[in-house]
Structures are given as C-alpha cells and as structure tokens.
Structure 1
Amino acid sequence: MIATLTSPLAWPFVVLALSVLFIIIAISKLKLHPFLALMMAGLFAGLLSAIVPDSTLLPDGTLAVNSVMDVTKLLMTGFGTTAGNVAMSIGLASIIACCLMLSGAADRVVTRFLQAFGDERAGLALLVSTYILSIPIFFDTMFMLMVPLAIALHKRTGKDFLLYILCICSGGVIPHCLTVPHPGPIAMVDTLKIDAGFSILVSMLVGIIPSGAGYFVAKWMNARVTIPLRVSLENSSDTQKGNAPSFFASLLPILIPIGLIGISSMWKIFGGMPAVGETSVLRNLIDFIGDKNIALLIGAIMSMWLLKQSKGMRLAELGETLAKPLETAGLVILITSAGGAFGSMIKNAGVGSAVKHVSEGAGISMILLAYVISLVMRVAQGSSTVAMITASAIMYPLLGSDLPYHPIYIYLSIGFASFALGWMNDSGFWVVSRLSGMTEKETLKYFSMMLSMLSLLGLAVTWLGSVVLPMVSK
C-alpha cells in the first residue's frame, strides 16, 4: 500500500490532497489567516515532495525539489515572483477604488444610471452601474457602497428590495472573479501566462451574459417572495455627497486604464501596423502605457485628482486618506503572493504531470476539470481568491501546446466556479446577509442559489466559446 502511494504517479496526488486538506482545515477550522495557511501549505507540499526522491521518475520530467534544502528557496522564489507581478496592480487598484468612493464619483455614476433607466428599471440600472464600478472595487466594498441606494429605492417605490439586492450582487461578483485588477484574476493571469488586456476584454464581454441573466433570475425570485426591509438607511454605509465630479470625469479612472491596456493587447494580437517596426517609438509608447501597472498608475493619478478637487484636500491630507486602503492592499498582496508560493510548490511536486496523465487517459475535459477544482476549493474554504489561486496553480502544468483552445477558457472556467455555492465560510455571504437584513436561510436560498445558477451558465458559455471560437491555429 505504501509502495503504491509513493509511486511516481500516485505520490503527486498524495502531496496535492494533503496540502489542500491542510489549507481547508487551517482556514475553516483553525481560523488561520489565509497568508499563513498558504505559506505553510506550500512548505508542507515542498517537504512531502523532497522526502520521496523516487517521485522524480515521472515519464515527462523530474521534480525541481530534490532535497529539503531546496524547499525554502523555491517557496520564496515563488512568493517573490508573484509579488513582483501583482503588488503594484493591487495597490493602484485599491487607490482608484478608495478615491472613486470618497470623491462621490461612484455615487455620481450610479445616480446617472438610475436617472437614465427610471424607477421601473432601477434594478437593471443598479446591475449595470455595479458591473462597471466593480472593475476596480472589491465585491464586499462595492456592496457596502450600493446597499444605501437599494434601501432608498425600496423606500421610494415600496417594492422590489430583493430585486435590488440581487442585481447589485450579480453586477459585482462577476467582475470581482473574472477581471484584472482584482487579486484572483491577477494571480490567474500571472500563473496561466495570459495577456492582462486580453483577459479584461474577454472576461468583460463573456461576463455580460451571466450577469445579464442575473437580472432575469433576480426578477423571477423577486416575483415569488417579498423580503421585508429589516435594516435602516442610517445603519448602512452612506454615499458621498457634496461637490462630486461629473459623470464623464467619474468614469475616466476606470475607462482610461482599460482602454490603454486594451489598445496594447489588440496591437500585440493583430501585430500592429505593417509600416510600423518592432522597435519604433510608437510601438514602444503603446507597450509602455499599455502595461497594466502604468495604465493603472495613470488611472490612480486621475482618481486622486478627482478626490483632491472634490474635497479640497491638501496633498498631505490625500496621503493620509490613502493610507488605509493601501494597508488593506498589503494584506491582499501577501495572500496572493502566498498563493503563488503554494502554486510553485504544487507545480514542482509533479502534480501537473500526474493529473495530465490521468485526465488524458480518462478523457476528462480540461475546462470541466478546472471548474471542479476551483469549485471544490471555493466550497471547502470560502475564499474566491484562494480558489482561483489554487486552481490555476494546479491547472497550469496541464496546459501544453496541444491544448485545442486558448488558455483564456481555463481562466474563465476557474473564475466562474470561484463564486458558486457560497455559504457560511464566505465573507461575502455575511456581508450580503448582514447589510441587507436577510436571514442566513434567505441568503442561502436567494443569493447563493442565484450565483450558483450564474456560475453554471458561465461554464456553459465558456465551453461553447471553446468549441465555436477556440482562438488557436489548427
């Protein structure tokens, strides 16, 4: 039995199972911080790999970890590489999010959409505005920002409270789990080696389908049940009033970075203009301003200017205001980088080679496999970000040059799975439950059920896209 478990093909699965179980127990039962859980799991996986040297006999390669002395070095290399790739993006995104909220820009965008759509389609207005604003703003923060508007709308119309809440959720969750610069998608882009701009373009377009479907699911649920208003506006996060920027100016810190990244990505995809050389000034300029870090830096500067102008802040006050979101970003960077460290240990344990060998023999779809791995991690420990980090780390070694479709479909599959079946171990579950006033049973029945339905729809759209538009040359 022991000889079987330590065989070259079986041992990587043992390493994977034990290290994932360690993460689940550490986060869900022992309540360890995800940073510690992921770093310790990476160390654990590395040590397990090192103690069975015969596992280097896999047919398609050997393990990078061959001794205990290599473990710490490889763990920190994975941590540092990931931190270098994601830290600036996450920090700048937190600045943009903070400035949009405090300047009143986010409130201006939502208010304009509500005016355009009218009270009868207020749910759709909330969904669309949340979908756009959630590109740089985390789901929990976005929900806190939007709840007062849902409450105020319900007080004005006297109906549709559940519709408003679910539309906010549908508009906010999908960008959070699919779109750079959120930490999970940033980690996936880094791990799966996908162009950031291309991932934004595809995820925002594909995400429209399940997010839009969320509006009709929300209407269907709202028509069958009335959720009373159990919270007051005074107890919710208040929206920013005062000298808010214009609607157009409010959108610029979001649209400009997306546009710059998108132009750079399209240039790379289509090879630029034939008359423009690879080393031309124009090509270099596009590559520079289209880099995700530079584009987000431009967006952050614009958002800081909006906040400074709307509140009449001095530079010193602006610096103090940004300290808190940057502290929060620091924690997110640590977690994401720890996930990268864990992923490097999983990769070097030979898990990818072993899973690929088994999946090819069983004829398992890579898209479905990615979805299941992400879903299991999501349900087990609650964090969408950890689920995306872990699943992408497991899947990357499986994605050889013979993959019949672009890796973006693996990215989408992991992202869609990462918000399904949310329950009591998910922080977002409690944010929605407490701020909306819904009971735990109601939150499970409506919030969790709707997101699970949208997740499955996203999987179906992803699979269909891989068949109809594989985006690889045959």
Structure 2
Amino acid sequence: MLSLTATLCIVGVGLVIVVGGILGFRLHAFLALVLAAIVVSLLTPNSTVEWYRLGKLQIPVLNQQEGTATLDLKASPSHQIGQQFLLAKQVEATGSVETVATATLARFDDKEHAIVDIMPVEGSTGVDWDKSIVVTPQAREDATAFANQTVGNLVAGGFGATCTGIGILIALAAIIGKCLLDSGAAEKIVRWMLSIVGEKNAPLSFIFSGFALSTPVFFDTVFYLMIPIGKAMRLRTGKNYLLYILTIVTGGTMAHSLVPPTPGPLFVAEELGVDVGVMILAGGLVGLSCAMVGFLYSIVLCRFVDIPLRESPDMSLEELQNIADREDSDLPSIWMSLMPIILPVLLITGATVMNTVLKGVDQADISPVIHWVDQFFVLFGNKNIAMAISATLAIIMLVRQKKSDVSDLANSLQAALASGGVIILITAAGGAFGKSLQQTGIANLFGDVAGASTTMILVIAFVVTALVRLAQGSATVSMITGVGVMASFAAGVELGFHPVYLALAIGCGSKMFLWMNDSGFWVIGKMSGMTEWETLKYVTPMTSVMGVFGLLVTILAANAMPLV
C-alpha cells in the first residue's frame, strides 16, 4: 500500500510535469498531459493499480456479523445459492492484494439482498471489514490482468475511454460553432438581444448572448465575435466601453466552464458520471446567477472608471463602423440562428426529465402517448444524436445563407474539425492523466473528509482547480486536472450529495486567477485595447468574484438539496 507521502509525491510529480511542461518548456497541453500520465503510471506499483481496479468492481456490504454478511446484491437468475465470492485486502506492509476469506451465497433475505457465509482463508492476515472488500472471483482475475498491462496500454485505455464519451460531441460542437460564425447567425443573435432590451441595456444583451454562444463556441472565439459589436456600441453611445467589455466576458466565461457541450464541463460531467442534461440545467442556473453577480460588479466599477476606445490590432475604427452599419437582411433569421443552440438543449434535457419522471414506474402503467414520448427522447435525446441533428441544421443554415459551393462548405467544415480535433486530443490526454492519478489511490487522502463534510469536499475541489488555473492558465486544463484528483468521489453514496455539485465546484474553481499565463487574458486585453495592468485590475477580480460566488451557491444547494 502506498503511504500518504508516496502518494502525494507521485501526484505532485504529475502536476509539476503538466504545469512545468506548459509554462517552462512551452509544451503543447496534449504532450504535457500524456507525458504526465505515463510518468505517474510508471511510478504507481501494480498492486496499487490492482487495488484501485478491485474497488471499482466491489460489491457493497450492507452489514456484517460474525461469520455472515449482507451484500447489496439482488436475487436474479445469474446469482445462485452456493455461489462463491472473495474478501480481498491490501496488506499494509507489502502493498500486495491478498484474499483473506471466501464468502458463500447462503440465501436471500426478505429484501432480496444476498446473505453470505464467511470462511477465513488459512494463513491469511485475517478479515478486517474496515479494509476488506467483497468481489467475485472473475473480478479478482480482471483486476490482476488490468494491473499487469503495460504502462502504454493503461494510458491508452484512459485516453480511449475519454474519447468514447466526448469525442463526437466536441467535433459536432466545433462544426456548429463554425457555422454560426460563418453564416452570421452569431451576430444575428447578438443584434436580436439588443433589439429586445434596447441599446440602453446593451450590457444585459451581451451577457445573455455571450452565455448562449459560449456553449457550442469556445470563449476566445465568442470574444473575437462580440468585441467588435461592443466597440460599435461605444461609437454610438460615446461611453461605457469598459462595461461592454466586462459584460461580454461575464456571459461567455461562465458558460465556458459550466455548460456542456463546451469541452471543460462536458469532460468533467463524463468523468463524474453526471448526466449531460443535468449538467446543462445545473450549470445554466449557477452560471447565470454568477453572471448576474458579474454584471453588478461591472455596473458598480464602471460608475467610477472607464477606458477609452483605442485602436487594436484586429481592426480599425473605420472597419468597426462598417460592422455597425451592416444590414440585417445579410443575416439569417433569428429562429434559424437560434435553432442549432436551442434544439440539442431541449432534446437532451427532455430525455433527462423523462428518465427522472418515469424512473421506477411500471411500463404497464404508462399510457401509449407517454410511452411514445419516452421512446422519442430515448432516440433523439441521446447527446450524440441531438448534437448531430443540431450540426446538420447549422450546415443547412450556412449553405442557405452563404450560397457557397461544395468545396467552400468542405473547407469550412475542415477548419472546424481541425479546431475541434485539437480540443479532443487535449481532453482525451487529460482523461488519461486523470485515470493515472486515480490509480495512485489519491481518493484515500480525502476519505475522512468525504465522510465528514459536504462543504469541505466542494472547497477542496474548488481550491485544487483554482491552484492549477493559477499555475498554468488554461481553464479547461485546470478542470481536467481537478476532476482527475476528485473523480474517485463520483459515487453518490460516498459523497452524500449528487456529483453534479462536485462538477460545479470544479467549474467555478477554473474561473479564479485570470492572468498573463492564460491565452484568454491576452485575447481580452489585445482585442479590447486594454493594457495588461487594466486587464489585471478590472477583469481578473470580476472572474474571481464570480467563481467564489458560484462555489457559495453550489455549497448552499448541495447542503439544502443533496439529491441522493
């Protein structure tokens, strides 16, 4: 068994490789994460990996007495009287995994839970229920085979498992984002929001537009899109330029870390076993509440300070004026523009709602209409199918709007997939690194905390993510690393609350400490014309305030409504 010091050292080496590789050696995040995963796997003993795997395959023990135990195993044709199980334990002195007893299925109680007779193995170190787990003989063999894989296969397994969960979604989201930008649909959404709230309330329009666009479009791209509109508004009003900048950042940055299918929150949800529909709903609610705090912060700050509209490298003031004067007739309709964003949200969350409502309901008690609706959402509410439908609509919109030929369309899609491919590589490499961290037994470091305090677990997740963000800059990489450390608490029984709250705490932690090592810092500063000091003084505190507020909301919700 790895000691506390050894586990911390291995995890620390992995974190140093990620942070040092990205900052010190300017490695691409993909390379840094893969290298860290390989090194952590090399340093982790096979017996520790085997024990980690057995923990994933164990059968929960409801209670135990002298010579017997009750397992959380329901009666079924696959479970027969006389079936054998094993009690395994990791020996502290050597770290090896030992079978300390056999368990024979004797009967089922009135709740159909399995009652087993325990027979200690002669020569073993003895049964210790605080340290022993119950597994099937097949699970023991599988865990041994898993631990004896080469390091390359272990890392590749984590990489592939992550790709399976999120690869298609990220590629489709990249296509949707590219089509929204090239067709003018994104600009149409911003203008439509402006027409609803009025130019006087343009900051609110920027918040909601940025929030909506940052779900399928990466934050840097959303800022590129919206800052010219903010500058054009400054030309019209002659004031409030800093307010426009801050509100564009507010909406976009919160969706970037809390609402799938943006890669960061999508990856965190997959790792923690959180339904994507639940993550969209919870992330949307917390993200919008944080955005409102950011809005209030911006309003108060801009009563005392503003910055001038300056020339910036991206475009001249004359080009800005041309954007402001662009005709609405050159843009797609608002319904066509919104559909690629709204439709997958409705389908995915609809499937989540139907699954929640009908959970535990006998099929015979469901009316034909409800059954048809349920089957509709089973098919089209699948996250991959919903996003594929949305991408198809976005492509059709681009073709209609631009009236481009097949080669132009192919070039647009190729550019989108090239951009999405890089994100897939980074997140999948992060998945491999996260799995390597989990196999060290990192969850054991927080075992006492997990049993004691909901608040403490969420604070730990927030702080780990925030520290990684401070060290290396990327919000997405900090979320990948944070969930790698905390993912072993995904089971609701261990947490005492729904894992979506853990995902939200990780997302909020990624909002902390925006500074020079983050590409977003330079995008915001250079595109808006702010100096480095102005960006640090005005933008960084706002994103940190939103992150802390999001953590507080998450803690309150997890304590008031644990949802388990």
TM-score interval (norm. to shorter): over 0.9
Conserved 8 A contact 1:139-1:173: yes
In structure 2, relative to structure 1, the CA distance for the partners of 1:464 and 1:320 (3 Å cut) is same
1:129 aligns with 209
Structure 1 window deviating more from structure 2 (254-263 vs 127-136): it is 127-136
Q: Which residue identity does 2:212 align to in structure 1? A: I
Deviation sequence 1:370-415 (CA, Å, 0-9, x none): 1011111111111111111111121121344142211111000000
2:245 aligns with 165
After superposition, where does 1:297-446 map in structure 2 within 5 Å? 297-357=388-448, 360=451, 365-400=456-491, 401-446=493-538
Structure 1 window deviating more from structure 2 (125-134 vs 438-447): it is 125-134
Conserved 8 A contact 1:39-1:342: yes
1:3 aligns with none
Structure 1 position 205 matched with structure 2 position 254? no
Conserved 8 A contact 1:353-1:398: no
Please identify the structure whose Cα radius of gyration is greater.
Answer: 2
- Tell me the distance in 1 between the aligned counterparts of 2:266 and 2:6: 30
Give the 3-state SS of the residue equivalent to 1:224 in structure 2.
coil
Conserved 8 A contact 2:451-2:495: no
C-alpha displacement at 1:357, in angstroms? 4.4
- Tell me the distance in 1 between the aligned counterparts of 2:231 and 2:449: 52
- Tell me the distance in 1 between the aligned counterparts of 2:499 and 2:454: 18
Q: Which residue identity does 1:259 align to in structure 2? A: L
Deviation sequence 1:237-260 (CA, Å, 0-9, x none): 976866311112110110001000
Give the 3-state SS of the residue equivalent to 1:219 in structure 2.
helix
Match of 1:77 among 157, 160, 168: 157
Give the 3-state SS of the residue equivalent to 1:471 in structure 2.
coil
Q: Which residue identity does 2:32 align to in structure 1? A: A
- Tell me the distance in 1 between the aligned counterparts of 2:294 and 2:453: 34
Q: Percent identity?
A: 35
Unmatched segments (≥5 aa) in structure 2: 49-93, 98-129, 134-139
Deviation sequence 1:284-317 (CA, Å, 0-9, x none): 3311211111111111111111110011122332
In structure 2, relative to structure 1, the CA distance for the partners of 1:148 and 1:18 (3 Å cut) is same
Give the 3-state SS of the residue equivalent to 1:432 in structure 2.
helix
Give the 3-state SS of the residue equivalent to 1:10 in structure 2.
helix
2:294 aligns with 214
- Tell me the distance in 1 between the aligned counterparts of 2:417 and 2:144: 35
1:269 aligns with 356
Structure 1 position 87 matched with structure 2 position 167? yes
Between structures 1 and 2, the one with greater helix share: 1
In structure 2, relative to structure 1, the CA distance for the partners of 1:221 and 1:206 (3 Å cut) is same
Match of 1:234 among 304, 308, 315: 315
2:104 aligns with none
Q: Which residue identity does 1:424 align to in structure 2? A: M
- Tell me the distance in 2 between the aligned counterparts of 1:362 and 1:162: 41
Match of 1:50 among 22, 45, 50: 45
Conserved 8 A contact 2:47-2:147: no
In structure 2, relative to structure 1, the CA distance for the partners of 1:306 and 1:60 (3 Å cut) is farther
- Tell me the distance in 2 between the aligned counterparts of 1:248 and 1:329: 26
C-alpha displacement at 1:322, in angstroms? 1.3
In structure 2, relative to structure 1, the CA distance for the partners of 1:7 and 1:65 (3 Å cut) is farther
What is the root-mean-square deviation of aligned Cα atoms in Å?
Answer: 2.5
- Tell me the distance in 2 between the aligned counterparts of 1:235 and 1:120: 25
Conserved 8 A contact 1:276-1:283: no
In structure 2, relative to structure 1, the CA distance for the partners of 1:339 and 1:55 (3 Å cut) is farther
Structure 1 window deviating more from structure 2 (413-422 vs 225-234): it is 225-234
Q: Which residue identity does 1:433 align to in structure 2? A: G
1:467 aligns with 559
Unmatched segments (≥5 aa) in structure 1: 1-5
Between structures 1 and 2, the one with greater strand share: 2
* Greater RCO (Cα-Cα under 8 Å, separation 6 or more): 1
- Tell me the distance in 1 between the aligned counterparts of 2:448 and 2:270: 24
C-alpha displacement at 1:70, in angstroms? 2.9
- Tell me the distance in 2 between the aligned counterparts of 1:282 and 1:91: 28
Match of 2:258 among 156, 170, 178: 178
Conserved 8 A contact 1:243-1:311: no
In structure 2, relative to structure 1, the CA distance for the partners of 1:455 and 1:60 (3 Å cut) is farther
In structure 2, relative to structure 1, the CA distance for the partners of 1:35 and 1:248 (3 Å cut) is same
Q: Which residue identity does 2:464 align to in structure 1? A: I
Conserved 8 A contact 1:90-1:182: yes
Match of 2:194 among 87, 90, 114: 114
C-alpha displacement at 1:45, in angstroms? 0.4
